[in-house]
Amino acid sequence: MKITIIAGARPNFMKIAPIISAIKMSADKGNNISYRLVHTGQHYDQKLSGSFFDELNIPKPDVNLEVGSGSHAQQTAQIMIEFEKDLMENPCDYVLVVGDVNSTMACAIVAKKLHTKVIHVEAGLRSFDLTMPEEINRMVTDAITDLFFTTSKGAGINLEKAGINPDCIFHVGNTMIDTLINNLDRLRKPAINSQYSLDQEEYWIMTLHRPSNVDEAQKLLELLNLISKNANDKPIIFPVHPRTANTLNSMGVLPDNIIITDPMPYLEFMYLVNSSAAVITDSGGIQEETTFLKIPCITLRENTERPETVEIGSNVLCGFDPELMKKAFEQLNSGNWKSGTVPDLWDGKTAERIVEVILDYSD
Ligand code: UD1
C-alpha cells in the first residue's frame, strides 16, 4: 500500500515525523506499506521548515513543490496545480494530510478529484469561527476525507454531527504529542538562556502570528504593553514569526522586558516552553503542548478548536479582552493556576495506532 504524505508548513512537520517512523517500522515487520513525502514549499525558510527536518530526523522529501508565499487563493491554487501533476505521475492508494494549513486543504481536494482516498490526521477540530482560514481548511478537508483520525472524542462528535459515518472515525490521540514525548530527553537549552540569565520558571514565552493579533501595529503595541506591565518584571521571550516581524519593524520601541528572537528550532523552543513559568500564545498546537507539559497557557484568541485544553488542560482563553487578560495574569502571578490533566490517548503511541488502522481498513 502506497501512502503519499503531505507537509507544507511549520505545524505539519512535527505531526508527520512519527507517522513516517511508524510506517517504516511496520514495513520492517513485513507489512506491505510504503510512503512518499511531498513538501509543498508553503514554508521555505530554514527556521520555519529545514530545521524541523534536521532536528526531528524527517527524511528528505521525495519532492518539494516550492509553491512559496502568496494570497490564500494564489497559494492554494499553486499547490493544487503542482500537486496534481505530481500525483498523476506518482499514483498512490492514499493521500495523508495533517492539520489545517492551506497545503492540507489544497492537496486533499486534488487527491479526491483524482479518485485517491484521503486520510486526515487531526480531523474534526472546529472553532466554529469562519474568519479563521484554518477553519475553512478544516471543514473543506473533512468534507472529502475517507479516513478520519482524531485527537479527541469531541472532534469525533463534530464529524458525526456533520454527517460523517462513525465507522470511518478513529480516536487515536495526537501525533504532535508523540513527537514531544519522543524528544523530551533531547530538548536543548538555547543560547538565549545564558545570554539573559533566564532562571527556571522565572520567564514567560510568547508567540503571536495570527493576522487578527499582529497585522495592525497599534493593536499589537497595546497588546505587548499590557502583557509587559503584567509580567512582574519577568523577561518575556518572543520568537517572532515573519508575519509578526513585518509589523514589529514598523513599530517604535518595545517594552524593555520583551526579548525578541528569530523563530526557534523545535528542540530549543520546547526546552524553553518546558522550563517557563507560563506561555502566552495565539497558536493552536502550543495549546496542546502546554496542556501535555502542564505549563500555564494564556491563549489570546476568542475561541479554540481544541476545547479539551481549556476544559481539562492548563489553557485559558482570554480573547482580546484586557480585563480577562489581567485576571489571568493575576491568577498566574499569585500561583493559583489550575493544574490540568492530559487528554486521553496523548501517550506517544498515536502514529502506531494510525498505521494499524490503515492496514486493517484496507484489508
Ligand atoms: C501558516 C498557517 C497557520 C499556521 C502557521 C504557522 C495557513 C492558512 N496558515 O500561517 O495555520 O499556524 O503557518 O507558522 O496555512 N513567510 C516567510 N518564510 C516562510 C514562510 C512564510 O517569511 O518560510 C512569510 C511570508 O511573508 C508569508 C507569510 O510569512 O507571506 C505568511 O506565510 P503563510 O504560509 O501564508 O502563512 P502563516 O502565517 O505562516
Distances (CA, A) of 241 to 215, 248, 327: 12, 10, 27
Q: Whose CA is nearest to atom 30 of ligand 1?
A: 69
Pick the atom of ligand 1 nearest to 44's CA.
Answer: 23
Ligand 1: does its nearest atom lie under 6 Å from the Cβ of 45?
yes
Q: Is the CB of 286 under 6 A from ligand 1?
A: no
Residue pLDDT, tens place only, 36-47: 999 999 999 999
Cα–Cα distance measured from residue 180 to residue 23, given in angstroms and rounded to the nearest whole number = 18
Whether 39 is catalytic: no
Residue nearest to atom 28 of ligand 1 (CA): 243
CA distances from 338 to 30, 166, 236 (A): 46, 34, 21
Closest C-alpha to 235, from 269, 265, 276: 276
Give me the mean pLDDT over the 61-73 stretch: 98
Mean pLDDT of the chain: 96
Q: Which helix (H) or strand (E) holds 208?
A: none
175 lines ligand 1 (CB under 6 A): no
Rounded to whole angstroms, the Cα distance separating 128 from 141 reads 15
Q: Residue 301: CB within 6 Å of ligand 1?
A: no
Query: Given the C-alpha cell 503542482, which residue does it identify?
Result: 82
Establish whether residue 117 lines the binding site of ligand 1, counting it when its CB lies within 6 angstroms of any ligand atom: no
Ligand 1 close to Cβ of residue 69 (< 6 A) = yes
Q: Which amino acid is at 232?
A: N
- Mutual angle of helices 217-229 and 242-249, in 10-degree steps: 100
pLDDT tens sequence across 255-290? 999 999 999 999 999 999 999 999 999 999 999 999
Percent of the chain's residues with pLDDT above 90: 94
- The active-site residue out of 43, 120, 209, 241 is 209
Q: Is 241 in the pocket of ligand 1 (CB under 6 A)?
A: yes
Q: Across residues 83-89, what is the average pLDDT?
A: 98
pLDDT for the residue numbered 251: 86
Ligand 1: atom nearest CA of 43 is 23
Instruction: Compute CA distances 16 → 37, 223, 277, whole Å.
Output: 9, 34, 29
Which residue has a Cα nearest atom 25 of ligand 1? Answer: 69
48 lines ligand 1 (CB under 6 A): yes
Which atom of ligand 1 is closest in space to residue 104's alpha carbon? Answer: 15
pLDDT for residue 103 is more than 80: yes
pLDDT (average), residues 200-208: 94
What is the pLDDT, as a whole number, of residue 212? Answer: 87
Is pLDDT of 363 > 80? Answer: no
Q: What is the pLDDT of residue 200?
A: 87
Atom of ligand 1 nearest to the CA of 211: 38
Nearest CA to ligand 1 atom 31: 243
Distance between Cα 43 and ligand 1 center (Å): 6
